[in-house]
Amino acid sequence: MPEILVRAGGQAGDGIASIGETLAKSFARMGLHLFGLNAYQSVIRGGHVWFQARASPERVYSQGDGCDVLYALDANTAEVHLPTLRQGGVVVYDPEKFKIDPARIPVGATALEVPTLALARKYTPQSILQNAAGMGALAYLSGIPLPLFQQAISDSFGRKKGEVVDWNVQCAADGYAHAKANGSPNLHAASPAGEPKLLMTGNQAIALGAAAAGCKFLAQYPMTPASTIMHWMAAHSREAGVVVKQAEDELAAIHMAIGASYGGVRAMTATSGGGFSLMVEALGMAGMCEIPLVVVESQRAGPSTGLPTKTEQGDLALMLGAGQGEFPRAILAPSHPVEAYHAAIQAFALAEAWQTPVLLASDLHLSESYATVDRSEIDLNVPVPSLYLNPTNGSAGEYLRYRYTETGVSPRSLPGQRGLQWIAASDEHDEKGHLISDVRSGIPLWVEERSKMMRKRMHKLEGLALDSAPPVREGPEAADLTFVAWGSTIGAVRDAREILRGKGKATNLVHFPTVYPVHVPQTLALLEPAKRTLLVEANYSGQLGRLLRTETGLVFPNRLLKYDGEPFYPMEIVARALEVLRGG
């Protein structure tokens, strides 16, 4: 696949995220597909951070392997990332800041010295302007046209005006000119490939999908990596008609969302594993009261606060068992911003249709990585049906909010309407909502009511399975190896399959847009014929594999499990796949 991989690194506070965002915007405006990885630590200043932009005329699903152009803002970046330079690669650095031993540059790669600080001092003594010069050099080496890149820089400054913007634009031109005079474009340099593309992170896609689905209330406590959902919603609250409330903690956030949904609007909350742990009792209340609720759980490495800015898929077991007792739920797991947009819409549709909580499982890698999206893939014309069924009276002329039905779904009305009032309490109840928690001796009626109500609620799982997306097979029906994956790890698997195809290895991929409820017949139909399987998960115990074994009896002896906080890279999946194909 034709591609270019551009990487910039430095310390927290050096503006690496801004460099990466500007590069990503530029490639997207050239009509290229892009995947952008932002890797950072849980510190405000200091500590190594880096960004990788991978661009190609064809869709890319992960950050890829290695890099072609490296911008090192400090010696540590050079030390860490020089070995990743591919054949024909180049490292850009300022010799006034540090030196690079030529012996450390990989064979086939070169170095380009750019006096970023000196170029910046032409305009201001503020050293941060050096980034513009360095980015200008990156743009030339990567094949980005200067006018397009300068416009991307201007747009990145948002509301800032005047000489600050002018300095950055002019300094970028100086860096571009220096690279042009002293170097040459990388052998993988990009070229414009068509109409500009949309650029979004997984969190932005989820927020946009929620707004399109009619979400009118978001309550959230900021917790990485879910925080930018609230940032996007707050920034677009007026045009989207969404009330955004930053709660004092996660307990308040989920209770506010439940209250808003009970009161008549589509509502959502979002958090990470630690915050979700605080929400589980309230999640059970939503299940007991049959109140629709969407919860985004963006996973990071645990337990406890773990690695706050690193990725993992370690919370699946938590999401499956969250809340005491048993109640129906669905867990959706997108792998790409396009899927995240549509998963958010489906989450609201399922929550409303089946009057139950729906969890949208993301992770840091999906939440915060950038990816390009074709405009045709984002349809904002989403039909939002009435939030409430037309209630019908019970046999005694009373409104039965929790009436027993074949589907488990009961008539729902706006609270407070004459003749349609009901009790919505967290205790067990009968059809009218009257509490039955006091089981009186000699009266077995309440015991039977409890059993009937439990069966009614849990019967919704059958409807959720019918309404939600079944597992998907990508690739040929017959293959030597079948990958099994969920969530963001699917991206690296897709890229790995392309590499394996180039090596003459036939593989396919079975993945799960709906992790729960498990679509048992479809899963068996896709996986029972597989010659060999390779389970790929970003957790220690293979939690999806364990769930599938429980539900279907399928066993996955070959595994690639990663739990160091870093995302999967295509080549490590390729290496493990080749081992399995050799019988290792």
**Averaged pLDDT for residues 244-254:** 98
Q: In a 10 Å sphere around its CB, with 0-12 CB exposed, 13-18 middle and 19+ buried, how is residue 438 labelled?
A: exposed
- CB neighbours of residue 238 within 10 Å: 8
Query: What does the DSSP 8-state code read for residue 363?
Result: E
pLDDT more than 90, % of the chain: 87
Alpha-carbon span 272 to 261, nearest angstrom: 21
List the beta bridge partners of residue 358. Answer: 294, 330
- With tokens 């160091």, the residue in question is 564
**Averaged pLDDT for residues 278-282:** 97
At 43 the pLDDT is 79
Q: Which ranges in 264-336 belong to alpha helices (H)? A: 273-289, 316-321
Contacts of 245 (CB under 8 A, 6+ apart): 217, 218, 219, 220, 253, 256
How long, in residues, is the chain? 584
pLDDT surpasses 60 at 441: no
At 444 the pLDDT is 60
pLDDT surpasses 60 at 406: yes
- At 416, is the pLDDT very low, low, confident or very high (cuts 50, 70, 90)? confident
- Token pair, residue 14, equals 């050096």
Alpha-carbon span 98 to 49, nearest angstrom: 18
Give residue 218's Cα distance to chain centre.
18
**Which long-range CB contacts under 8 A does 530-533 form with residues at least 24 apart?**
530/479, 530/482, 531/479, 531/480, 531/481, 531/482, 532/480, 532/481, 532/482, 532/558, 532/580, 532/581, 533/481, 533/482, 533/483, 533/484, 533/557, 533/558
Lowest mean pLDDT segment, chosen from 29-38, 160-169, 262-271: 160-169
- At 39, is the pLDDT very low, low, confident or very high (cuts 50, 70, 90)? very high
Alpha-carbon span 468 to 460, nearest angstrom: 12
Alpha-carbon span 50 to 72, nearest angstrom: 9
Q: Is 257 left (phi over 0), alpha (psi -120 to 50) or beta?
A: alpha
pLDDT surpasses 80 at 129: yes
- With tokens 């290229």, the residue in question is 32
Per DSSP, the residues of 432-489 read T--B-----TT-THHHHHHHHHHHHHHTHHHHHHHHSPPPEEES-SS-SEEEEE-TTH
At 7 the pLDDT is 98
Whether residue 505 contacts residue 577, with contact meaning beta carbons closer than 8 Å, is answered with yes
Whether residue 471 contacts residue 519, with contact meaning beta carbons closer than 8 Å, is answered with yes
pLDDT surpasses 80 at 494: yes
At 126 the pLDDT is 86
At 1 the pLDDT is 74
Alpha-carbon span 463 to 517, nearest angstrom: 10
What dihedral do alpha carbons 571, 575, 576, 578 form, nearest 10°?
130
Whether residue 437 contacts residue 427, with contact meaning beta carbons closer than 8 Å, is answered with yes
Sheet of 472-474: strands edge to edge? 472-474, 507-511, 481-485, 533-537, 559-561
At 446 the pLDDT is 67
pLDDT surpasses 80 at 393: no
Sheet of 370-373: strands edge to edge? 110-113, 85-93, 67-72, 4-11, 48-56, 33-39, 370-373, 198-201
- At 161, is the pLDDT very low, low, confident or very high (cuts 50, 70, 90)? low
At 137 the pLDDT is 98
Q: Which is more confidently placed, 107 or 43? A: 107
Alpha-carbon span 322 to 203, nearest angstrom: 22
Alpha-carbon span 189 to 3, nearest angstrom: 8
> What does each C-alpha distance from 58 to 2, 31, 186, 479, 498 come to in angstroms?
8, 10, 19, 24, 12
pLDDT more than 70, % of the chain: 96
Alpha-carbon span 437 to 446, nearest angstrom: 8
Query: Domains in the chain, ordered, with CATH?
Result: 4-182 (3.40.920.10), 200-377 (3.40.50.970), 388-449 (no CATH), 472-581 (3.40.50.920)
Contacts of 501 (CB under 8 A, 6+ apart): 507
At 420 the pLDDT is 86
At 4 the pLDDT is 98
Q: Which of 582, 518, 575 is nearest to 545 (CA)?
A: 518
- CB neighbours of residue 187 within 10 Å: 12
**pLDDT single digits (tens) 539-570:** 999 999 999 999 999 999 999 999 999 999 99
**Averaged pLDDT for residues 136-150:** 97
pLDDT surpasses 80 at 584: no
Give residue 280's Cα distance to chain centre.
21
- At 158, is the pLDDT very low, low, confident or very high (cuts 50, 70, 90)? low
Per DSSP, the residues of 40-87 read --S-SSSSEEEEEEEEESS---S--SSEEEEEESSHHHHHHHGGGEEE
Chain-wide mean pLDDT for the chain?
94
pLDDT surpasses 60 at 443: no
At 285 the pLDDT is 97
Exposure string for 542-567, b = 16+ CB within 10 A, e = fewer: bbbbbbbeeebebebebbbebbebbb
**pLDDT single digits (tens) 49-78:** 999 999 999 999 999 999 999 999 999 999
**pLDDT single digits (tens) 317-365:** 999 999 999 999 999 999 999 999 999 999 999 999 999 999 999 999 9
Alpha-carbon span 223 to 302, nearest angstrom: 14
CA atoms within 13 A on the CB side of 206: 36
**pLDDT single digits (tens) 372-392:** 999 999 999 999 987 666 555
Alpha-carbon span 313 to 302, nearest angstrom: 10
Q: Which of 58, 31, 27 is nearest to 375 (CA)?
A: 31
**pLDDT single digits (tens) 164-223:** 899 999 999 999 999 999 999 999 999 998 899 999 999 999 999 999 999 999 999 999
Q: Which is more confidently placed, 43 or 127? A: 127
Alpha-carbon span 4 to 413, nearest angstrom: 55
Give the dihedral sign, CA 518/224/71/26.
Answer: positive
Lowest mean pLDDT segment, chosen from 175-179, 232-236, 417-421, 506-510: 417-421
- At 439, is the pLDDT very low, low, confident or very high (cuts 50, 70, 90)? low
Three-state SS for 331?
A: strand
At 445 the pLDDT is 64
pLDDT surpasses 90 at 408: yes
Alpha-carbon span 562 to 574, nearest angstrom: 14
Alpha-carbon span 62 to 177, nearest angstrom: 31
At 448 the pLDDT is 85
